[in-house]
């Protein structure tokens, strides 16, 4: 059987050599290149079945390489590797048609799985290339994360922003559903059109229909003038229905009809109006359960959830907390004119051990209060501890200790690692991801603390 060909393009010589050795030992035919120009030449002569491509190269970046290959109608699956873990990089990678995105430091097992998966693709990828303008999406509000689950969220945003399907974003309060909706809109072809948010839980039900579709003069008491609704105002843009589970059943029927026909009438009007607005729905409720209880229309649920993005709670991506803390403190410093430099190690451990029922929104609130209450430039445990609520799980973990006894840092670390191991069902890879440490470090800690499954 003919061996599959893998081309590796990276300017880091040691990584290039180790990957060449790994894939050669795994029975692949391997070629290497250290620059973008050399990579394009080897693609033509070597004709690989899959390309592993670094984003940062000395002569061009990986994005330019992809664009050049697509201009040449070359549809070889491309796996991007990079040391950068931001949302912009991931979304751009997906939109340009890369098959997969692997962050550094490279997990060779993950990379080989991606190669095998790419080789199984029956038809080559042939997406249109879409160039992005600007650098970071949000100067004030970015989506922060480098955990595996957030990488998948970024990739999902890249995929759904290429078309106009309706999207349902699910997640607990404070997980950033509106930010994800904004990211989808900002990376779409309609990014210059309006982005309108309707919070369905804060609008009186009797006025929600008017808010959506508008009304004619005299259509109800207080309607002294005709008013255009959000569907009309959005034109080709995007409407986010936040807390969509709060929409009354009678309005659900009218919303469903609009989504099916793209036509509507203002309240009290007879003229058919048309809108091509894109709808994104967000909820912190279980709509499937509401459907079973007769509280939400099943046909509307399926219409809204053509694509679904489920945002994880912060407690399930604790490895992202240090990144979030750094970003939020920088932003809070700028807004309040302060200069907090860092969070003390013990205080950071407390932040990572807390359950965060209010998710990122609660973290931002706690950090804002901590920054304002800090004397000096370092947030310490004494400042932070009173701000963290006593979660039920934390109380249960310490209730067997003598009254007034404090946990040492080692005891706290042991309890935290044990909790993460139990939560990940002792899957060491996922536990390392959640803890933000390497597998050798985790094994050392397990031996040190006598932790066994």
Other CB atoms within 10 Å distance of the CB of residue 409: 10
Task: Determine the pLDDT at residue 2.
Answer: 79
Q: Which residue has the tokens 């006593």?
A: 390
CATH topology of domain 148-310: Rossmann fold (3.40.50)
**DSSP per-residue string spanning 166-189:** -EEEE--TTS-HHHHHHHHHHTST
pTM, full prediction:
0.63
In angstroms, the CA 184 to CA 58 distance is 31
In angstroms, the CA 180 to CA 270 distance is 36
In angstroms, the CA 50 to CA 258 distance is 44
Task: Determine the pLDDT at residue 389.
Answer: 55
**The architecture CATH gives domain 5-120:** 3-Layer(aba) Sandwich (3.40)
Task: List the beta strands (DSSP E) in 259-300.
Answer: 263-264, 273-274, 278-283
**φ and ψ at 210, to 5 degrees?**
-65, -40
Task: List the beta strands (DSSP E) in 329-432.
Answer: 342-343, 378-379
In angstroms, the CA 163 to CA 167 distance is 11
Task: Determine the pLDDT at residue 86.
Answer: 65
Other CB atoms within 10 Å distance of the CB of residue 235: 13
Task: Determine the pLDDT at residue 171.
Answer: 93
**The architecture CATH gives domain 314-389:** Orthogonal Bundle (1.10)
DSSP reduced 3-state for 82? strand
Mean pLDDT per block of 10 residues along the chain (453 residues) reads 89 91 92 94 92 92 89 88 74 80 84 86 33 28 79 88 93 92 91 91 84 86 82 92 93 94 88 92 94 94 95 91 90 85 90 90 90 86 79 41 51 77 76 76 83 75
- CATH no. for 400-453: 1.10.10.60
Q: Could you tell me the residue ranges of all domains in the chain?
A: 5-120, 148-310, 314-389, 400-453
> Helix axis angle, 428-435 relative to 409-423, nearest 10°?
130
Q: Which residue has the tokens 């059943």?
A: 249
Contact (CB, 8 A) for 53 and 35: no
In angstroms, the CA 150 to CA 156 distance is 10
**C-alpha neighbours within 13 Å on the C-beta side of residue 251:** 20
C-alpha distances in angstroms, 445 versus 38, 228, 411?
44, 62, 12
Q: Do domains 148-310 and 314-389 have the same CATH topology?
A: no
In angstroms, the CA 250 to CA 336 distance is 46
């Amino acid at each position: 059987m003919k061996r599959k060909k893998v081309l590796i393009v990276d300017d880091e010589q040691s990584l290039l050599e180790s990957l060449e050795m790994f894939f050669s030992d795994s029975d692949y035919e391997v070629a290497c290149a250290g620059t973008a120009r050399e990579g394009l030449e080897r693609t033509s002569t070597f004709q690989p079945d899959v390309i592993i491509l670094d984003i940062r190269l000395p002569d061009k970046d990986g994005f330019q390489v992809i664009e050049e290959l697509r201009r040449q109608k070359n549809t070889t699956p491309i796996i991007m590797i990079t040391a950068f873990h931001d949302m912009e990089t991931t979304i751009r990678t997906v939109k340009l048609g890369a098959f997969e995105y692997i962050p550094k430091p490279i997990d060779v097992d993950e990379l080989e799985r991606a190669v095998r998966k790419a080789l199984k693709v029956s038809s080559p990828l042939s997406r249109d290339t879409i160039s992005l303008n600007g650098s970071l999406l949000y100067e004030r509000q970015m989506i922060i994360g480098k955990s595996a689950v957030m990488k998948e969220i970024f990739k999902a945003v890249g995929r759904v922003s290429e078309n106009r399907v309706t999207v349902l974003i699910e997640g607990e309060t404070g997980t950033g559903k509106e930010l994800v909706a904004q990211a989808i809109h900002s990376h779409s072809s309609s990014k210059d059109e309006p982005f309108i948010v309707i919070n369905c839980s804060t609008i009186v039900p009797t006025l929600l229909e008017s808010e959506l579709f508008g009304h004619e003069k005299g259509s109800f008491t207080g309607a002294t003038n005709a008013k255009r609704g959000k569907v009309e105002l959005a034109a080709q843009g995007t409407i986010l229905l936040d807390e969509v589970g709060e929409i009354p059943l009678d309005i659900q029927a009218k919303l469903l009809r609009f989504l099916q026909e793209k036509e509507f009438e203002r309240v009290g009007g007879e003229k058919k109006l048309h809108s091509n607005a894109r709808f994104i729905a967000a909820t912190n409720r279980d709509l499937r359960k509401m459907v079973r209880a007769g509280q939400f229309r099943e046909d509307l649920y399926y219409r809204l959830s053509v694509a679904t993005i489920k945002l994880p709670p912060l407690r399930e991506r604790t490895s992202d907390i240090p990144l979030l803390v750094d970003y939020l403190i920088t932003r809070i410093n700028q807004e309040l004119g302060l200069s907090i430099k860092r969070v003390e190690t013990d205080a950071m451990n407390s932040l990572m051990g807390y359950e965060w029922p209010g998710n990122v929104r609660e973290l931002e609130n706690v950090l804002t209060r901590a920054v304002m209450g800090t004397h000096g430039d370092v947030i310490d445990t004494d400042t932070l501890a009173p701000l963290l609520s006593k979660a039920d799980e934390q109380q249960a973990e310490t209730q067997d200790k003598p009254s007034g006894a404090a946990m040492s840092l080692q005891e706290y670390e042991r309890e935290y690692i044990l909790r993460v191991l139990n939560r990940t069902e002792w899957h060491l890879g996922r536990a390392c991801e959640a803890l933000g440490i390497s597998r050798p470090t985790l094994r050392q800690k397990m031996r040190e603390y006598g932790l066994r499954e």
